[in-house]
Amino acid sequence: MSRLVPVPRPSVRVRAPGKVNLALCVGAPREDGYHPLVTIFQAVSLVEDLELTTTPEGSGISLAVSGLHAEAVPTDATNLAWRAVELVAARLGVEPDVRIDIVKGVPVGGGMAGGSADAAAALVAADHLWDGGLPRDELHGLAAELGSDVPFGLLGHTAVGTGRGHLLTPAMTRGDLHWAFATRTRGLSTPAVFRAFDEHVGGPDELAPDDVAPLMAALRRGDAVAVGAALRNDLQAASLALAPELAETIEVAEGAGSLGAIVSGSGPTVAALARSRQHALAICAAWTAAGVADDVHTATGPVAGARVVTAV
Ligand SMILES: C[C@@](CO)(OP(=O)(O)O)[C@H](O)COP(=O)(O)OP(=O)(O)OC[C@H]1O[C@@H](n2ccc(N)nc2=O)[C@H](O)[C@@H]1O
Ligand SMILES: Nc1ncnc2c1ncn2[C@@H]1O[C@H](COP(=O)(O)OP(=O)(O)O)[C@@H](O)[C@H]1O
């Protein structure tokens, strides 16, 4: 049954961040095929901007994408932002007559959860557009239906993820971390990387959450050197098996004095922790000079999760 929405707002713009996994500990697959994780997410300042605009009654949903690698993103009902709008509309009982405009700043298929950021942004935007007032935990439930990484797109900052990555506990941190990111035009498929992990590496039946304790302590102290030394990604060997060229990208970052360099999530983006923004720029310059990245970016973390930027 359709709910009477007083008057939908004309438009809402929401910003949501990409992420890097500072630690990604992966267990053996569960019966449902998902892998149990203990991960530390950090939201970074490569962001997605999403605008929802009310369109005439009966027009349904439409979607357009611009920005970084826009051509690689679906513009139909398979787009995670489209699905997020449908979920909120169904939950509130409204007809979704909206245009979705996404400006991408997070590399597509890069292991930085740009699609999940769009989904998180769309959940917040749709709730705001239709004055839904959905409680935060309900938005988190909808987010977890859309994907394991989507709840973190809502929460942002730095958080520990357990379960399939969707159960979140905020983590204490001090200060900013400076990042350099080396991206590749050809993305890696997340399921393919998890499959390669099962084939070549294999995770334990029980994960030990204490494994990330040194990293958590380093984050609390704001000790970037110790954070860099404790970076960990169990999926890295699998990503390198599928994209061996990433090994050189990591080596070049290490040669440029990075505090730590790892594959971001399932890859193929390589994340290098730097001492400062200047140092992050120097790492990017080293990557470009060595020809081991298709594009390079600097960013800082942590930053906020999905939040309304403007609403009219
Ligand atoms: C690997 C990670 C690390 O943060 O990020 P990305 O590199 O994709 O950004 C995530 O676990 C990705 O989360 P997300 O991309 O939301 O995954 P989902 O849509 O839930 O699942 C896509 C597929 O990934 C695999 N998958 C995902 C999460 C998980 N804990 N175990 C899995 O095995 C499953 O094959 C699943 O069908
Ligand atoms: N809004 C979206 N933005 C980007 N990709 C999306 C979106 N919705 C669905 N996808 C699909 O999800 C895939 C991976 O999404 P993305 O979040 O960019 O990478 P990753 O899962 O590696 O972090 C894309 O290749 C694309 O086919």
* Domain limits for position 230: 177-301
Same-domain check for residues 214 and 145: no
- For 99-153, how does the pLDDT look when each residue is reduced to its tens digit (9 = 90+)? 999 999 999 989 999 999 999 999 999 999 999 999 999 999 999 999 999 999 9
Give the pLDDT confidence score for residue 116 in this predicted structure.
Answer: 98
103 and 203 belong to one structural domain = no
pLDDT tens, position by position, 154-178: 999 999 999 999 999 999 999 999 9
Cβ atoms within 10 Å, residue 27: 18
Ligand nearest to the CA of 168: 1
pLDDT, residue 3, reads: 57
- Rounded to two decimals, what is the model's pTM? 0.96
Question: Could you tell me if the CB of 265 is within 6 A of ligand 1?
Answer: yes
Position 66 in a domain = yes
Q: Choosing from 118, 127, 149, 234, which is the catalytic residue? A: 149
311 domain residue, yes or no: no
In a domain, 100, yes or no: yes
Burial (CB count within 10 angstroms: exposed 0-12, middle 13-18, buried 19+), residue 57: exposed
Q: Are residues 57 and 104 in the same domain?
A: yes
79 falls within a domain: yes
* Residue 209 confidence (pLDDT): 82
For helices 136-146 and 80-92, what crossing angle results, to 10°? 140
Same structural domain, 16 and 151? yes
Q: Pocket of ligand 1, candidates 83, 149, 188: which has the most ligand atoms within 8 Å of its Cβ, to mutate?
A: 149
**Domain count across the chain:** 2
Based on the fold, state whether residues 210 and 296 are members of the same structural domain: yes
Residue 208's pLDDT is 86
* Residues 145 and 217 occupy one common structural domain: no
Question: Which pLDDT value is given to residue 79?
Answer: 98
Residue 227 counted as domain residue: yes
pLDDT computed for residue 203 by the predictor: 95
